[in-house]
Structures are given as structure tokens and as C-alpha cells.
Amino acid sequence: MVPGRTVDLRLRARSVRVRAPGKINVALRVGPLREDGYHGIATVFLAVSLFEEVTAFQTSGDGVSVSVNGNVSVDGSGVNGSGLGRVDGSGALEPAPGSVPLDRTNLAVRAAELLAEVSPGRTGVHLDITKRVPVAGGMGGGSADAAAALLACDALWGSGFSRDELARIAVDLGADVPFALVGGTAVGLGVGDRLTPAISKTPLHWVLVSSDDGLSTPEVYRTLDAIRLRDGIEADPRPAIDPAVLGMMRAGDAPGLAPLLHNDLQEAALELAPRLRDILETGQDAGALAGIVSGSGPTIAFLTHSSGHAAELQSLLEAEGLRARAVHGPAHGARLAPEPAG
Ligand code: ATP
């Protein structure tokens, strides 16, 4: 309950649909493992035109249920959903990398539950998620779902939180959730949650290549620590972003940006999924300006000159049997979408 907050019943609707973007990390520098078990990072987030969609439906119960691409949970306890999740021996849903939980561990459900704690006008809600961002792909799809659920439930319940207030709630859900709310281009410090928006008006055009087997983000970080230990590499305790990256993005200069793309997690992702090396090589051979593993991978982002170049590269990569998709960024953050038809 927020002191002094009144509930505007007129704002209530029976369903609210929100779209929130996936992201790529144009630059990602990772500091050493901290005593609290996290790594400090410095990153440049870019929201891209690949959107998750979350529709929040008011229900007569008082809990939160969820469906993902048509797979529905039972009483919020979670069921298996054709490749989206698996049920372990105890009957609890234990998500494997690449799966989406249909129980209370789903980030969108956690977002709704967290917002309900401070929303006097809360009701039961069903969240219907349409996933387009590759799962466990290093593109923050779960974070986008959480951001979308926060905004959708805020509108459904007439809670009236400002973007800043929602961002403060978002931090508790995950380091990438605040960025999915704001979108655009931003520098992320801390664990990626301390955001400074950056100017980049000219769109940059990319081709994303997704892989079937997701990578677990904690495992990629552990592998990076092991590589550093093995090779005697000392990580910078104060990771920082090269200002030239922001300069090239501000200018929309794709050829200038290409040699500056950098991801400290890339080596670790390549060690865990060696096939990604071939994908990077295939993209380069097909004429990409540069390629980079997005976040903790395995999605690869190829930078191109223009929308035409991106479309052409997408076709070439598809002809090689890869799952490719042209996108552009910056894209908007979580935003209300028109009501679904019907
Ligand atoms: P991270 O944000 O941890 O770097 P990612 O961007 O690589 O992850 P996500 O698609 O966000 O990948 O999912 C990471 C894990 O989070 C999945 O393996 C899944 O078990 C869990 N998860 C929880 N809720 C969701 C959700 N709504 N969508 C996708 N995954 C979810």
C-alpha cells in the first residue's frame, strides 16, 4: 500500500496489452567476481525491434496465473508446455535453459505479485505472454516480460505508479528489467541496473541469429571466471565503456562502430557453445560489418550498413540453414499496445 495513493477506478480495464523489447549489449565489460557473488559490469544496452507481448486479464480469483504462447499453467503450479518447460520427479516445474516456467518463478508472475503488494486496487490477473525474443538467448526476454507485466498490471489496477517508481520495483526482479522499461540506448553500470540514457537517434540495423540450446547466464559468468583464472587475466575492478562507442552510436556510424563491438562474456559463451564460432564466421563471410555474442549468448548479433543490407544478410544466413532475423534499434521501452482484436 502506498501512503496517500488513491485508486482511480475509471482507469481500470478488463485487459491491458503491453509490448516490451529485447536488447543486445553493444559493449559489455565485466569486472571480477565480487564477495556478494555478483560481477560489476559496464554495458551499452540497445533495445531492438523484437518485442515480447504481455496481456494482463482481470480475473475473479485473487492470484496470478500465466500462459506462454498458448501453454497454460494449472492453478499457478506449473505444467509442462511442449518444449517450454519440464516437470521433474516431484511434480514441480524445473526449467531447463531454453524453457519458460509456467509457475511463480516466471519473471512476469513475480513482477505482478510484487506490484500487487503495493497496489490497493489489485485483482486476480491472468498474464498471457507471447514470446518472440529467444529464450535464454542473452537478449533479456524474461526481463522484458517482467517489465511488460509491471506496466500492464499498473494500468489494469489503476495503481498509477510513475516510470521511476516502476523502475525501482523492477530492480528487485532482475538487473535487466529496468532497461526493458525504458528501452532506447543506455549505459548500464552496477550490475546493469544503474542506467544513464544515451542519445542515438539514427537507427542501427542488425541481424540476429538464434540457437536452439540456450545458455545459462550464471554458467557463462562462472566460465569467464575460470578462463580468467586459467589464463592469469586480472579483471578491471572498475569496468568502463569506451566513449567512442557512444560517439559512433550517436552519429549512427555503423562502420565506425563495428570494430568497437566488445563482449567480455563472448569467450566464455564460445567455450560452452563452440558452434557459435562457425556462426560468427559465416556472418562475416556473408558480409556483416561485425558480429558479437549478445550478452551471455547464444544469440549472435551482426551489424550491417542499412535495412537493405540487413535484409540481404538475413536471406544469406537463412540459406545457410540459420535462424536469422533483421531488426533495428533503438526501439521503445515497455509501452501499452492497442487492445487485441475481438
Ligand atoms: P538473463 O536475463 O538471465 O541474462 P537471458 O536474457 O539469456 O537471461 P531469458 O529468456 O530472460 O534469457 O531467460 C533466462 C531464464 O529465466 C530462462 O532459462 C527461464 O528458465 C527463466 N525465466 C523466468 N521467467 C521467464 C520468462 N518470462 N521468459 C523467459 N525465461 C524466463
For the residues 99-121, what does the mean pLDDT come to? 95
Cα 229 to ligand 1 centre (Å): 28
Tell me which H or E stretch contains 337.
strand 335-337
Under a CB-based contact definition with an 8 Å cutoff, are residues 313 and 281 in contact?
A: no
Q: With 80 as the cut, is the pLDDT of residue 286 above it?
A: yes
Question: Where is pLDDT greater, at 235 or 61?
Answer: 235
User: How does the average pLDDT of the chain come out, rounded?
Assistant: 88
Predicted confidence at residue 193, as pLDDT, reads: 87
Atom of ligand 1 at shortest range from CA of 134: 10
Q: Is the pLDDT of residue 295 over 70?
A: yes
Q: State if residue 108 touches ligand 1 by the CB under 6 angstroms criterion.
A: yes
Backbone torsions φ then ψ of 90, nearest 5 degrees: -80, -5
176 lines ligand 1 (CB under 6 A): yes
Q: Looking at residue 326, what is its pLDDT?
A: 98
Rounded percentage of the chain residues whose pLDDT exceeds 70:
87
Instruction: Give dist(CA 234, CA 285) in Å, integer.
Output: 33
| CB of 95 shorter than 6 A to ligand 1 | yes
Cβ-contact 264, 39 below 8 angstroms:
no
Q: What angle do CA 155, 68, 12 make, to 5 degrees?
A: 15
Task: Give the per-residue pLDDT at 99.
Answer: 83
What pLDDT, on a 0 to 100 scale, did the predictor assign at position 9? 40
- What value does the mean pLDDT take over residues 45-60? 97
CA of 146, closest atom in ligand 1: 27
Look at 97-101, 128-132, 324-328 and tell me which has the smallest mean pLDDT. Answer: 97-101
Catalytic residues: 23, 176
**Ligand 1 proximity of 147 Cβ (cutoff 6 Å):** no
DSSP 8-state secondary structure symbol assigned to residue 107: H
Atom of ligand 1 nearest to the CA of 215: 7
Q: Is the pLDDT of residue 264 over 90?
A: yes
CA 297 to ligand 1 centroid distance, Å: 12
Is the predicted pLDDT of residue 94 greater than 50, yes or no? no
Can you give the pTM of this predicted structure? 0.89
Percent of the chain clearing pLDDT 90 (strictly above): 81
When pLDDT is cut at 50, 70 and 90, the band that residue 338 belongs to is: confident
**Buried/exposed 24-35: b ≥16 CB within 10 Å, e otherwise:** bbbbbbbbebee
Query: What secondary structure does DSSP assign to 235-302, as a single string?
Result: PPSS----HHHHHHHHHT-HHHHGGG-EETTHHHHHHH-THHHHHHHHHHHTT-SEEEE-TTSS-EEE
211 lines ligand 1 (CB under 6 A): no
> Could you report the per-residue pLDDT of 141-169, keeping only the tens digit for each?
999 999 999 999 999 999 999 999 999 99
Query: How much distance in Å is there from the Cα of 148 to the middle of ligand 1?
Result: 14
User: Which residue has 557512444 as its cell numbers?
Assistant: 246
Regarding the beta carbon of 134 and ligand 1, being less than 6 Å apart is answered: no
Tens of pLDDT, residue by residue over 176-232, are 999 999 999 999 999 988 999 998 889 999 999 999 878 999 999 999 999 999 999
For ligand 1, mutation pick of 73, 87, 130, 135 (most atoms within 8 Å of CB): 135
